[in-house]
Every structure is written in structure tokens, then in C-alpha cells.
Structure 1
Amino acid sequence: MKITNIRFRELTGTTTYPEDYWQERQAMPLDIYPEFKALSGPQLYRMWKFIGEGDEQWVKSIFLEIETDEGITGIAGPINWTIPCVYIEGPLKAFLIGKDPLAIERIWDQMYRASAHGRKGGYNMHAISYVDAALWDIKGKALGQPVHRLLGGPVQDRIPAYVSALGYSLEPEKAYEKVKEFRADGYTATKWFIRNGPTDGPKGERETVELVKALREAAGPDMKIMLDCWSTWDVPYTLRMARLLEEFDPYWIEEPVITERRDSYARLRRESPVRIAGGEHEFTRWGARRMMEAGTCDFYQMDTLWAGGISETMKIYTLASVYDVPLIPHGASTHINGHVSFAQNATMAPMMEYLQSVKAMTHHFLQHQYVPIDGYFYPLDVPGLGMDIDESKIESERELSWL
């Protein structure tokens, strides 16, 4: 089998969503500047191309397809940014056309070695990750097996989902009702995205406390509550907020500081009364090792479509087992996370993230809608990754090229 072509399909369609989209957004490091703090979710997340009013939403997504001479096509996506596509079509294409798609490790190593200006991470590593995922999709389809079986799974029968509330209102009353809804749907854990940070003063602190209080009241004593700060806090603020929030028993505080500040992470892990999670913006086994050697986190969250793909995430899992820490991949791709997670035991992969509102859009064009059942994920039972396109949902499309 040989790779004959790569292409990028930009698909457009419409879907329905039962409530306002992007009621609120997460905090971002740029929010220390007032002009960025004022931006809404729709203004910031235009790269996801969710546009509409009321129930109807216009969706646009880009998928990578790698074609072979045996009629098997590997699919990865949707790709949120066009920059990785440019890397794939440009410098990475030479390592694909005419090559054996089942020689995944060889192709990964060649792409990595050729990426002199992108080995440590960033969009170039995103590009390598998408290619790697599409190659695993080809391998699974060629062998007639779900990818998790090729990785040694399934090790678990089911994995608890934690439902991430990105996009939902942070008004305490509305958040309370949403958590009650999550509980009724069988979820045992939920993550919320904090909007306030050090520049918001005492008022922001009070708003965060009131939000987390409402979350705990709705969740009851047993449901896990996680808080995502998305690299917008600092060490003194995180320690202060951790002590203010301790009585509500948050399960972790995620990405309180920028990933590169490993000393700050290590200090927080030592001194915070709340567990620390992070790593979604770290890349490759080498970046993961630096974080783990420094003892930065209680939970690691490298993203399968950012950190190097399925091949690299499996290596990062091996590292995590050496350091005896769990890895719960960030939820850019639920399908791909499912395959790598079901190849791990329950101590290494104790949960999976489900970005509920986001996936309602990013999964729109997929035949297999991989969603939790009564709060749990189960292994996908289709050849490959299960990311084949539902052609009936495409209202228009075009093939993209940047060369």
C-alpha cells in the first residue's frame, strides 16, 4: 500500500442547537488587557466557524484526508486552525506521498527530525499529530480493527466522562441548573471555566467563590468539580483562591499558570490544598518528561492532536506510568482520546473529557457520534478511528490548498 494524495476538505452545513451558543467563554492570558477582556465567545472562537441565531447554527470544518492506492482513506480533524494544514501540504507532504502508510513510526520520526523549527511544539507539532492520527485510521481500516485494539485494548470496559461546560453561562443560578442537568444525565464529574483572574480584584474573587459554591450545591457531595483557569492566574492568586475554594472540595485547578513556568507549577503542587492539573499546551514525550521530572501536576492532560498524535501520546502514557501519575488527554478529539484511553488501565486513564457544547458542533459531519452513555464512554467498535464523514450533512464543500 502507498500514499497517493493528501487533501483538505472544508465542509459547510447547518445544525440545530437547543440554546444560545457561547453564553460565556473561558479566560485567556490576553485578558490582562481590557480590549481582549471585553471580547465575547463568538468574537474569539471564529476559527470554529459556528455562526447563527436561535436554534440554527452554520458549521464549517476542515478535515485532512490521506488517500492510498488501495482505496483506503485516513481521516483526521476537524482542524481548528489552517496553519497546521499549511505545514502538512508544505514541508510534511514529502514524507507522505509514495510512502507506506502502515510504517507510522518511520513517518513520524522523519517528520519530527525534519522539523528543525517546530520540534518543541506549536502548529508544526499539531500538523504532525493530524498526520499521525490519519495514518492510524488507515491502519485500523486496513486491518479491520478499531485503533484501540491495535494499541492493546480495550483494557477497560467503560471510562467515566467528565463533562466540560465550556460555553455555558457562569451566572451561579444558571450554572446550578446546568450541573443538576449533568447529574440527571449520569455524569459523575464536571469542569467549569473560570472567567476571573488577578486583574479582577476582590469582586472577581467573590464571583468565583459564588460560582463554585453554586456548583457544589448542585453537584452534591460526591460529584467531582474541576476548575479550568487556562493559564490566566499566578502563584499568589492561585494559592489564595485554592484556600478560599477549599471548603467546596474542587477536584483540581487546571492550568493556573502558563505551561512553561514549571517551577510555579511545582510550587503550587506542593502548597495548594487543591490538586493541580495541566499539560495540554505541552508537546511530545520530551516536554512531558520535563513536566513530570519537575513534579508539576497531579493530573497531566497532553492533547492527542497537539502533542504528537496517537504514536506520541502512547509514549507519554509510558512516561506517566513511570512517574505514577494519570494522564487524561485534553478533549480536542473525543474519538482519538477514546482509542488511546481504552488502551490504558483505570489508574492511568481514570476519566475522559467531553466538551459537550463544542462537540455538538465539531462532530456534526461525522457518521459516528461518539458521546457518553449515562455518563460513561464505551470502546468504539468500528474499524479505524470512527471518523468517517456523513456526506448527507454536507451542504457545500471546497478543497483547500495553500501552495
Structure 2
Amino acid sequence: MASRENGTPRRDEDEVCPICKSSRYLNPDMRFLINPECYHKMCESCVDRIFSSGPNACPVIGCKKTLRKNRFRTQTFEDIGVEREVDIRKRVMRILNRREDEFDSKLDWDNFLEQRETMIMNLVTGVDIAKTEANLRKYETSNLDSIRANQARESQEASSFLEQQSFEQEQARLRRQAAREEYEKEHNELLAGRESFLSRLAAGTADDATNLAREGQKILLKKSSARRSEEDRLRQKQAALRGESKKSALGKTALLSGAGDSDVEPSLIKGLKKVSIPEPEKPYDPFGGLDLGKKDYYVLKDHYPSQWLEEARKNTTMAAGGFDIKEYYSRTLFEAFAGLGCFIDEEVAKRGGASETFGMRKGIATQGAAQQAVTGKPAEDIF
């Protein structure tokens, strides 16, 4: 017997439980459930009777899959094939949840989408199921951190969207309420002003009428300017609130995006960006590592005998100008001994020789000096 629901005809087998053969015709409140392990449909009474005590095999003939009661649910789509494909698609996309900003190019992103769709269709149509499931398990095991990070980002984006949507709805409601209150207030003020205006006209003269008209114009100008300023204030406040919500959402997304394991590229997906953690910035050193207080070749004393220094020490004018005799000692000795410890031969050898730097032949300067020492004549200018 076929029945109709919302204008769609139902087949007789859709109205009868394949286990207990109960019909919806005799029991209109019957509810059918399915399990994503095998997608065999049975009534709720059979599910309670067979699986209440624990996991059990599917009672449908030929199906040997073990089912659990907590996984039974109501069928969403009328076609069980569509129901199965949707579940497979959700499961695969929950694992292969890479995002476009994780790939080096648009081509790599398109290749990833095609690869994911191919795996989904393989599971739906039953092609290379074992190999596809093995690849999914291997990828999920090796990229668990990035999968969880992307899932957290998706949930954060969804919650941010809902918050933004509710915020906009609340703002729209407040604007409507403010506009309604403003209209009622202006209407009441208009009626009160009209009555006052008429009463003053009735009791006054022609000059009073002119003054009343001027006062009315001033009041209208004040109201319009106050309304515009209030609208500007509301717009600025809403813009500031939107900016704060966007900043907070971006900050949370940035924190979540850094929680993945993108530094290791999985073998299943190609073209992912390799993200490395930057080294912490070193503190700024204006002297490039030079230690001005290091004294390897001299000892700084408090006094050195010198006639000029004695005059400078006793001259109060120089001291008032900022001259410090100890600072002079330190800088003079530092500059005098600054070249010690620098070996020119080693530096020249490292640079490949100063003559080679300027394109000169090796030993040309030494040969010129030797010629001048023997002959007594100056050598020709090599430059």
C-alpha cells in the first residue's frame, strides 16, 4: 500500500520494517532509524530490542557488521544513497580539511580539491576502498595537529559569523527602536509646539507672529543638527565595535593557525607551504659586539704626568664645558691600542690579497721596491 507525504509518493517497502514487518499503516507513530555502518533501515522498536544490551550484528540477512545503539539516527534524505554519500563526504572533509592559504599556488589548491573529490568518489562507488581508507588513516595519524588546528579555525569562524550576525541584528533592532522613539518624540513635540504657537498667536500681535516664526526656524535647525550629530555618533560607535570584533577574530585565528605541523609536508598532499618558526630577535647592540670596557693591552690609571693635562685638570672653564680628564685618558688609550690583535697577513690571506682585489699582478709592488733599491732610480708608477 502506498501513501503520500507532502505530495511525494512512498513505496510499500519504505513503510514496512524489514526486521519485524511492522507497517506504518497500522502504526502511524513508527519511526525508522539507520546506522552509518551499513545504512540498513529498521524501526525504533527493533533497535531497542536488539541493541539495548550492547553491540550486536546487523539482523539484515547477509550483513555481518557489528552495530551499536548509540550510532542509530533518523534518516535525513529519502534516498539512502544520498545519505551515505553525505556521510562519507563529511568524514573525508573533516580529515582533509586543508585551507587555500596553506598552499603555495592556486594550482596546488585545485589539485588538492581534485584529489579529495577523487577519494570521496572512490569510497562512494566502492573503488580502491582499502587503499583509500589506508591513505586517510595514515594522513590523519601524521597530521593530527594540523587537522585539529583547522577544525578549531573553522569553529572559530563559524562562531564569529554567528556573533557578527547577531550583532548586526541587534544593531538593526536598536536603530529601528531609536527611529520609532525619535519619531514619536518629534510628533509629540510638534503637536505641543503647534498648540503653544496657536495660543500665543491668538493672544499676541503681528510682531509676536514674526518673532514666533523666527523661533520656529531656529528650533528646526537645532533639531536637524542634533539629529545629524547623533547619527554620526552612532555610526562611529558601530564602526569601532566592528573593528574590535574583527581584530579579536583575527588574533584568535592567527593563534590557531600557528598550532599546526606545517613544517613537515605530508606525502599524500603536495604543494603545502613550509612554515618555519622564526628565531627570536636578538637585543640591539649599537657597537656590533665591541666591548669598550675590555682592556687587554693596557691598564687605565687615574693620573698621567703631562703639563698640558695638568693645565686642563686645573682649568675650571674646561670642566664647566663638560671636559672630563678620565674620559680623555680612556679614549686616548683605547685608540692607541685598538690595532693590537689585528694580523694583517691573515686578513689579506682571507680576502685573497689586496693586490688581487684591485686587479694587480701578484708581487708587482714588491718587485718595484726591489728595483728602486738596487738601481737607485724610482720605478715607474704602476697606477
Question: Please, what TM-score do these two structures have when normalized by structure 1?
Answer: 0.19
Q: Point out the structure with max Rg over C-alpha.
A: 2
Greater RCO, CA 8 A, separation 6+: 1
Q: Indicate the structure with greater strand content.
A: 1
TM-score, length of structure 2 as denominator length = 0.19
More helix by share: 2
